[in-house]
Amino acid sequence: MTTVARLPWDRVQTPTPDIVPGFDVERVRADFPILEQTVHGHKLVYLDNAATSHKPKAVLDAILHYYQCDNANIHRGVHYLSERATEEYETARKVVQAFLHAAQASEIIFVRSATEAINLVAQTYGRTHVGHGDEVLITAMEHHSNIVPWQLLCEEKAAKLRVAPINDNGELVLDEFEALLGARTKIVAVGHVSNALGTINPVGEIVRLAHQRNIPVLVDGAQAVPHMAVNVVDLDCDFYAFSGHKLYGPTGIGVLYGKASLLDRMPPYQGGGDMISSVTFEKTVYNKLPHKFEAGTPHMAGAVGLRAAIEYLNRLGLDTIEAYEHQLLTYATEQVAKIPGLRLIGTAREKAGVLSFVMDGIHPHDIGTILDQEGIAIRTGHHCAQPVMERFGVDATARASISFYNTKEEIDRLVAGIQKVREVFG
């Protein structure tokens, strides 16, 4: 299928990089102590938010407070501190439930990361539902963590991994996706937002098409939740995965949302303490949801930090964040596209957060190194999405990824930095 490359501003009015009403970016920046530093003698410009985002003071304070005042092992103790730590942990679960608009708190499983959430589903739902000759359907824009767990499963079960194609803008070709949904398709796994391209996938439509054929859908939301409000009930997805550290929360904590009707029927992922209701050498009876999937001592402080991050974002307002970041991305796209010899990789009509590009005759690593000397942090490489690189005929890209704490002035510094790269490579 041939497509005409379109740029995001084909469909938007003249972008206005003005501040969104009620959003004071300088005040917001003051909440992030790490942004105050200089790098190589320049004020830090952090544009690597898709890799990991920084933590507001509210998150740092919540973690410190947890360890200073509330720390104890949870669920098992009758003493006061254990009860308080349990309360903190279970409150965090309810905050995540509200954040995703899930029907029940028991549908929220705390895991290590989006990667672990996807592996959990592949190894439990996947191993019990995917058999010899069956198919798992993903898209050509997935992160490796939404490819390799399914490859491992398909290898073990002699099943097939099918891949729905993307067009030259980096958008999913929906009719070809639909054509790949067949009688042997046992699960669809699709990214909500591509980390390499910034494409926002039409997840609601994907779920509708899959459900018409009774196929469940896992959504990898690692790059979506930091940028937009997500409602898993409206999307009607069966599983939704994300990582805390990209959502302004701590590392080592992530979330798997799953519909209770599916989670209930899935075997546990790992065995150990807390995931059981009784154990004898003859037989173990598993605990109820969500504990069945949380073996061992969980990352209590991580859950507390994640709650603080979500509450911080709620105070800013996800809709405000989305509107501000959209303006910034539109402005950045317009500015970098003016640079001769620069090609944007990923020009979908619906985009969030990410500006990937290559430059004629200049390796992305050289772009990243020179920008670093200017105090500007971007990412270069394949972004754990090697099939995307292959699709666009490049080995690597330079990727600037934005957050609500970035400013128009920082975008101007990025553009000036790229101009400097051009001068150096003459």
Ligand X SMILES: Cc1ncc(COP(=O)(O)O)c(C=O)c1O
Q: How far is the CB of 269 from ligand X (least distance, A)?
A: 15
Q: Do 424 and 370 contact (CB within 8 A), yes or no?
A: yes
| 21-29, 38-46, 163-171, 217-225 -> range binding ligand X (CB under 6 A) | 217-225
| Residue closer to ligand X, measured from CB, 58 or 148 | 148
- The DSSP bridge pattern shows strands 239-243 and 254-258 to be antiparallel
Helical (H) or strand (E) element with 376: strand 376-377
Query: Taking CB under 6 A as the criterion, which residues in 106-125 touch ligand X?
Result: 113-115
* 397 contributes a contact to ligand X by CB under 6 A: no
Q: Using CB under 6 A, pick the residue from 86, 195, 335, 403 that binds ligand X.
A: 195
Q: How far is the CB of 244 from ligand X (least distance, A)?
A: 8
* 49 contributes a contact to ligand X by CB under 6 A: no
What does the alpha-carbon distance between residue 193 and residue 233 come to, in Å, rounded to a whole number? 18
Residue 218: CB atoms within 10 A of its CB come to 29
* 191 contributes a contact to ligand X by CB under 6 A: yes
Interface with ligand X (CB under 6 A), residue total: 13
368 phi and psi angles, rounded to 5 deg? -60, -40
User: What DSSP designation does 106 have?
Assistant: G
| Residue closer to ligand X, measured from CB, 113 or 330 | 113
| 139-147, 345-353, 367-375, 404-412 -> range binding ligand X (CB under 6 A) | 139-147
Q: Using CB under 6 A, pick the residue from 223, 401, 406, 407 that binds ligand X.
A: 223
Question: Is residue 151 classed exposed, middle or buried when 0-12, 13-18 and 19+ CB atoms within 10 A define those classes?
Answer: middle
Q: Do 59 and 305 contact (CB within 8 A), yes or no?
A: yes
List, by residue number, the catalytic residues.
384
Q: How far is the CB of 353 from ligand X (least distance, A)?
A: 10
What DSSP line would sit under 17-76, residue for residue?
-SPPTT--HHHHHTT-GGGG-EETTEE-EE-BTTT-----HHHHHHHHHIIIII----SS
Query: Taking CB under 6 A as the criterion, which residues in 238-277 touch ligand X?
Result: 243
* Contact positions vs ligand X (CB under 6 A): 113-115, 143, 145-146, 191, 195, 220, 222-223, 243, 384
